[in-house]
Amino acid sequence: MLEASGILQEQDIAIAAPYGQQLDDLIADCHQYLPSVDEAMIRRAFKLSYWAHRNDRRASGELYISHPIAVARIVAQEIRLDDTSVGAALLHDVVEDTDLTIEILRAEFGEQMALLIDGLTKIRGIYANRALGQAENVRKLILSMAQDVRVIFVKFADRLHNMKTIESLPPAKRLKIATETLRLFAPLAHRFGLQRIKSELEDLSLKVLEPEEYAGIVSGLKGSRQQREAHISSFIQPLSKNLREQGLEFEIKGRSKNLYSIFQKMRAQNKPLQEIYDVFAIRIILNTAGGKGKEECWRVYSIVTDLYKPLPERFRDFISVPKSNGYQSLHTTVLDSDGRRIEVQIRTQEMHEIAERGVAAHWKYKEGVDAMDAKMDQFLTWVRDLMENPDAEQATEFVQEFSLDLYTDEIYVFTPRGDLKALPKDATPVDFAFQIHTDVGFHCIGAKVNGKMVPLSHKLRSGDQVEIITSKKITANPGWIKFVVTHKARSRIRHRINEERREAVRYGRQLWEKKAKRARISLSEDELIRLASQFNYSTSAQMFYEISSGLLDVQDLIQYLRTGDSPNSDEEVPLSPEPPVSFLEHAQDHGAEALLINGERIRGLATVYASCCNPIPGDSVFGYISRAGTINIHRTGCRNAAHLLVNHPDRIQSCTWSRQKDVRFVVGLRVIGEDRVGILHDLTTVISRNLKTNIRSITVKTEDGLFEGTIILHVSDLKHLKRLIERVKRVDNIRGVYRFEE
């Protein structure tokens, strides 16, 4: 195992001169743009990254270290959050691509850095091989997984540098990465208010995806971005002079639209570049007082149109008639002295703040979204203010307090084929199975999450890959209702349970009719209802159900009809409508000697250990006096317990376990794992030889590489059972061991 401290203590790590200079430039950027700089930490991060990637090269042939240091410089220059983000940028690929581990990074740089690198490593695999048509869900997944917002910022910088150096990649890979960037990363950067990064990502993607159109737009604009901005500056100068002469307080911001935005307008309007009006734009923001904002906006409009010729068809008054999101501004397009079209926006500072509110209103209007999460709105405002006014204390507060929990009510998980599924928070593999298809849900017997067997009640997390293991047998476990969270799963399970109950009632009626016919007894429906009432059943269907379940013997009914002996009460009625399939006809045959009934040991009392829950010493139990006069012992967590405790409190007896030697109780274990040669032998060896436990029976089956077994054995108490379960869990390939209730 590598140790970071040993690596960094080496003094003979020779750093090539160009990269040493790049490190110095990075440090200079940090001092210029960041609120505070831990220079020693950044140098250590660079040194470790340089060493870890010492044998790696990029597709261009240059040393791999050129990529992380370029990403770090983008983080320092564009994001400007803190030095920890810069360190994470230097180390963002080491866990995925080298022998270094998160534990090494944690030991060397602390918990915060380790969490950032871990988040970057996980997010790196989210979008790989995913359907681009699910870009919106992937965006949500990235957000939901990033506990620290800096993870996403570093990811933007990583993608931006990859796009800047994309020419070194094969054509097919360039197309894939550019498409992914345009559909996923650029919109996400826009959502975070990173307009410059968003525009650059779009332009670089356009260059790959539409090279001819890209070249045509560049040529048509006659020059570089800097030249275009110089042209805007020449437009602003005489306008500023006129506004000052009118005594107005104002700020003018010039902007030129990015190439992709121009391309979109050309395509949407089906027009050449020459007919796209708002290639250049300026924004005039007025500082007004006394409620004269609207009046002064119109004064500025008059000055602009006196100086430059307006295009009347391009005029928009959003002050008198604001947009639905509250946006207010005057828009006009004018011709400058060279005949070029320039869009002019005129607004007050108050209007500007509304329009720029965390970029939220602009985002809603441009992207056509009806509603914006309030926390994202707050977040965007915070990011913008932080980037415009960097402050060390504010930056620390930001990264410590802001949790990116924008989608905490949803999780996003993958099928084995990589398809993305959205589920509610706390969803389980059973919810996932029913989301795939109802049949998958009913045939579900197990699940693997990220390649490991988990209980079906396991709560899934964003980014999990879930594989459902099915069998040919249709199941509808009533216990699933306790943990499933989706409406589909709940409704399908309840429907199946009701169907099975109706089938059980039909079967119970058949048993009654068969035995009643032999006894030459014939009852009408009304007589059956009265008979059920005598046994404290509200309906005859309930009586038939308990006959089917084995909780009521038809012979008891026949005996009552022949002799008229009044029944004491009904047997316990399970809350679950599923017919129990007991692996014991009668459980332990040790009578009451292992129990204290109401604090006393009562010998000779007929005691039955309920097969619905199979209690053993150590379990919390209670006694229920049955119609036959026996005491049925149930675990307090038994599925019948609530019904008995509520409806028959007069028949409940307090029970505790007495100390008995050489007394054994029957329990069942359900074992799930991955099949292999010798797994059954290892199980029986551990149970019988190592733990000296007697196995009563064992049933196993294998299907699609899955091993599943039911083991009936004898234990002395709950402590014995727990020790047994823990030992069986350590058998190779065993993924789950559960107490089998029935």
Residue 388 pLDDT: 53
Residue 193 pLDDT: 61
Residue 461 pLDDT: 86
Least confident of 125-129, 431-435, 451-455, 580-584: 580-584
Residue 454 pLDDT: 86
Per residue in 154-204, pLDDT (tens digit) is 888 999 999 999 998 888 888 888 888 888 888 777 767 677 788 899 999
Per residue in 162-173, pLDDT (tens digit) is 999 999 888 888
Our CA dihedral for 549, 550, 552, 553, rounded to 10 degrees, sits at 140
Q: What is the fold, at CATH topology level, of the domain defined by 665-740?
A: Alpha-Beta Plaits (3.30.70)
129 has a pLDDT exceeding 60: no
Residue 162 pLDDT: 93
- Over residues 585-600, mean pLDDT: 49
- Over residues 13-20, mean pLDDT: 76
640 has a pLDDT exceeding 90: no
Confidence of residue 371 (pLDDT cuts 50, 70, 90): very low
SS (H, E, C) 365-424: HHHCCCCCCHHHHHHHHHHHHHHHCCCHHHHHHHHHHCCCCCCCCEEEEECCCCCEEEEE
121 has a pLDDT exceeding 50: yes
Q: Which CATH architecture is the domain 410-485 placed in? A: Roll (3.10)
Q: In whole angstroms, what is the distance from residue 13 CA to residue 549 CA?
A: 76
Q: In whole angstroms, what is the distance from residue 520 CA to residue 514 CA?
A: 10
Residue 381 pLDDT: 56
Phi and psi of 658, rounded to 5°? -95, 165
Closest CA to 96 of 131, 137, 67, 139: 67
Residue 407 pLDDT: 53
- What proportion of the chain, given as a percentage, has pLDDT over 70? 75
Which residues contact residue 556 at a Cβ distance below 8 angstroms, ignoring those fewer than 6 apart?
Answer: 567, 627
- Beta carbons of 111 and 367 less than 8 angstroms apart: no
- Over residues 480-506, mean pLDDT: 86
51 has a pLDDT exceeding 80: yes
- Beta carbons of 460 and 423 less than 8 angstroms apart: yes
Least confident of 2-11, 324-333, 461-470, 565-574: 565-574
Secondary structure (DSSP) of 424-462 = ETT--HHHHHHHH-HHHHHTEEEEEETTEEE-TTPPP-T
Per residue in 667-711, pLDDT (tens digit) is 888 888 888 888 888 888 888 877 788 888 888 888 767 888 888
Active-site residue list = 96-97
The CATH number given to 225-355 is 3.30.460.10
- Beta carbons of 620 and 633 less than 8 angstroms apart: no
Q: What is the fold, at CATH topology level, of the domain defined by 4-209?
A: Hypothetical protein af1432 (1.10.3210)
Residue 580 pLDDT: 28
Confidence of residue 58 (pLDDT cuts 50, 70, 90): confident
Beta strands per DSSP E along 158-266: 250-256
Residue 342 pLDDT: 86
* Residue with the larger pLDDT of the pair 500 and 468: 468
Residue 181 pLDDT: 87
Per residue in 227-253, pLDDT (tens digit) is 667 778 888 899 999 999 988 999 998
Least confident of 92-101, 329-338, 401-410, 585-594: 585-594
If you average pLDDT over every residue of the chain, what do you get?
A: 77
11 has a pLDDT exceeding 70: no
- What proportion of the chain, given as a percentage, has pLDDT over 90? 14
494 has a pLDDT exceeding 90: no
Secondary structure (DSSP) of 126-155 = TSTT--GGGHHHHHHHHHHH-SSTHHHHHH
Per residue in 288-301, pLDDT (tens digit) is 866 788 899 999 99
- Over residues 597-606, mean pLDDT: 60
Distance of CA 532 to the CA centre of its chain: 51
In the three-class reduction of DSSP (H, G, I as helix; E, B as strand; rest coil), residue 290 is classed as coil
Q: In whole angstroms, what is the distance from residue 435 CA to residue 1 CA?
A: 42
Cα dist from 700 to 673, 676, 681, whole Å? 11, 13, 12
Give the up-direction half-sphere exposure of residue 38: CA atoms within 13 A in the CB hemisphere. Answer: 13
- Over residues 10-31, mean pLDDT: 80
Q: In whole angstroms, what is the distance from residue 358 CA to residue 181 CA?
A: 23
Q: In whole angstroms, what is the distance from residue 6 CA to residue 9 CA?
A: 5
| Residue 347 burial (CB count, 10 A) | 25
Domain range list for the chain: 4-209, 225-355, 410-485, 492-563, 595-657, 665-740
594 has a pLDDT exceeding 70: no
Phi and psi of 661, rounded to 5°? -95, 150
446 has a pLDDT exceeding 90: no
Alpha-helix runs per DSSP H in 12-92: 17-33, 39-52, 66-74, 83-91
276-291 exposure pattern, b = at least 16 Cβ within 10 A, e = fewer: bbbbbbbbbbbebeee
- Beta carbons of 68 and 54 less than 8 angstroms apart: no
> Residue 697: which H helix or E strand, with range?
strand 695-703
Per DSSP, what are the bridge partners of residue 617?
619
Confidence of residue 555 (pLDDT cuts 50, 70, 90): confident
> Residue 597: which H helix or E strand, with range?
strand 595-597
> Residue 343: which H helix or E strand, with range?
strand 341-348
Residue 419 pLDDT: 78
For tokens 């350590």, the residue is 730
Q: In whole angstroms, what is the distance from residue 621 CA to residue 134 CA?
A: 52
